[in-house]
Amino acid sequence: MTYTESLAQPSLLDLAKEGHPQAITYWMNSLLAPQGVSVQVNQSPDRWLNVQVNFHHPKRKDQCLNLQQRLVRFVCYRLWTLNSASIHQVRIIARQAGDRRILWKQAVRITTPATQQSSVLALSPSISTPAPLTFRLMRILFISRLTAVSVILSCWWFYAQLINAHWIHQNRLATSTPIPLDPPPTIAPSPEASPSPVPLPPKLQPSFKMVDVPEQFRGKVINKAEALAMPKVVALTFDDGPWPNTTEQVLDILKEHEIKATFFFVGQHMKTYPKIAKKVADAGHALGNHTEHHYTHTLDPQTAAQEIESTSKLIFETTGIKTKLFRPPGGNLESGLADYAASKGYGIMMWSSDSEDYYVSTPVLIDNVLKSVTPGGIVLFHDGGGDRRNTIEALPQIITTLKEQGYRFVTVPELLEIEAKQTPLNQTEEE
């Protein structure tokens, strides 16, 4: 195989995105093998993707059972990041290695932009056959007549404008007065009169808004605010927007409850929906950088820099906001993105409460948040990247319940300012 032919071969990740079971198997095993877990993936005749999970620690059967929700969450999120139109129904089956008995089994549905697009294409009507010759001739004649009428009307309008301009010019010449030869006498200013003060130009204000983090948090990874006397405040964050309908529905809910939140935008989505991004900024919410393409795998330094810098520039050009908030896609701190962001003084914003809204039902989503929220916490939701109806349904109940528990809602920069006022700078540097 020549060098050129090798470059033309699809990568393992590309094959996995196409839904190739063997590629998904290799990819998942590369992630889970260090944990003593192996995976075998195959496609069933009913289009379900079967993920067989094998635990290789026979003496830890109880622990394997306890890992069910964490492992399901991990598998679902990793499959979701592939954004494949072939992956939408997943059946996860867990076994002890060497034992055919099933420890547990769970079926889930994963919705990504690719699956949504494929469903829309499937519902769209087929391409119609060419119109009959008679109809096409009639259409050509009709368009030709319209063109001729348009040309005639344009010529008539242009002629009318010339006539009107000529008449105005003649009228002005007839009524004009002769120009005086001597200039009018000038009036000397009175010695008592003082010159009026010349008004100073208004002070120029910055043409952009800065979303910054306190100095002690720049380049740091933050899961929550942990000051000793932290009040009952919590920050709601939304990833992967802007997104049609969903982001605007989230904005309506937040406005109804008089809440400000923090949105981490994906660059590609901002290019597609710039008006929605501007609407979020105009509503007074804080904005953060979530990279241009939402890559979750390891990147070289140049690509990592491009992912962050291009999105930062796009946020500024679209909304007029410069931000120092960054959230790595998938929470992956080892991809090279977090390292670059830290070197540029970004606050690396993670979370303390995961709603898991990318695959769980509305009741489970609500329970995930309410049981994990603590003062100073950061809650992870998604307003983009797929079907977010469960998030829209759960959000009002979560907000109402937390308000009843005495919580107040703030943006991430406000949360960090609260902690900064209670934490000395030198103490944070020592940590």
What tokens does 362 get?
Answer: 């509305």
The pLDDT value recorded for residue 229 is 79
Query: d(Cα 93, Cα 231) in Å, to the nearest integer?
Result: 43
Whether the predicted pLDDT of 375 surpasses 70: yes
164 or 171, which is more confident? 164
Whether the predicted pLDDT of 223 surpasses 80: yes
Residue 235 β-bridge partners: 378, 410
The pLDDT value recorded for residue 307 is 97
Residue 262 β-bridge partners: 237, 286
Residue partners of 375: CB distance under 8 A and separation at least 6 = 230, 231, 232, 233, 234, 407
The pLDDT value recorded for residue 60 is 58
Whether the predicted pLDDT of 265 surpasses 60: yes
Query: Any catalytic annotation for residue 14?
Result: no
Place of tokens 């009036």: 187
CA distances from 121 to 16, 47, 164 (A): 22, 18, 56
Whether the predicted pLDDT of 253 surpasses 90: yes
Cβ–Cβ under 8 Å, residues 296 and 322: no
Listed in order, strand segments (DSSP E) in 31-173 are 37-43, 49-55, 89-96, 102-109
State which fold the 12-112 domain adopts: GMP Synthetase; Chain A, domain 3 (3.30.300)
Whether the predicted pLDDT of 291 surpasses 60: yes
Catalytic option among 20, 239, 269, 285: 239
The pLDDT value recorded for residue 5 is 43
- Percent share of the chain, pLDDT over 70: 75
What tokens does 128 get?
Answer: 């119609």
What tokens does 201 get?
Answer: 């130009």
- The CATH number assigned to the domain with range 209-430 reads 3.20.20.370
User: Which of 118-132, 154-168, 329-343, 365-379 comes out lowest in average pLDDT?
Assistant: 118-132
Report CA torsion sign: 127, 133, 134, 137.
positive
Cβ–Cβ under 8 Å, residues 353 and 210: no
Tell whether omega for the bond before 10 is within 30 degrees of 0, i.e. cis.
no
Average pLDDT over residues 260-277: 97
Cβ–Cβ under 8 Å, residues 324 and 345: yes
Query: Any catalytic annotation for residue 382?
Result: yes
Give the DSSP per-residue string, 114-138.
Answer: HHHHHHHHHHSPPPPPPPPHHHHHH
CA distances from 376 to 125, 148, 286 (A): 51, 71, 17
Average pLDDT over residues 388-415: 97
Instruction: Dump pLDDT digits (tens) for 327-356.
Output: 999 899 999 999 999 999 999 999 999 999
Query: d(Cα 368, Cα 202) in Å, to the nearest integer?
Result: 52
Q: Which residue, among 387, 349, 385, 356, has the nearest Cα to 74 in the 3D structure?
A: 356
Q: Which residue, among 85, 79, 76, 109, has the nearest Cα to 13 in the 3D structure?
A: 79
Instruction: Round the average pLDDT of the chain to a whole number and report it.
Output: 81
User: Which of 3-12, 118-127, 285-294 comes out lowest in average pLDDT?
Assistant: 118-127
Q: How confident is the model at residue 259 (pLDDT cuts 50, 70, 90)?
A: very high
Q: Establish whether domains 12-112 and 209-430 are of one fold.
A: no
The pLDDT value recorded for residue 230 is 87
What's the distance, CA 40 to chain centroid?
A: 32
Q: Which residue, among 352, 383, 384, has the nearest Cα to 368 in the 3D structure?
A: 352
Helices (H) and strands (E) counted in the chain, each on its own, are: 16, 15
Sheet arrangement for strand 37-43:
37-43, 49-55, 89-96, 102-109
The pLDDT value recorded for residue 112 is 74
Cβ–Cβ under 8 Å, residues 353 and 379: yes
Cβ–Cβ under 8 Å, residues 346 and 354: no
Structural domain spans, the chain = 12-112, 209-430
What tokens does 254 get?
Answer: 């937040």
Whether the predicted pLDDT of 173 surpasses 60: no
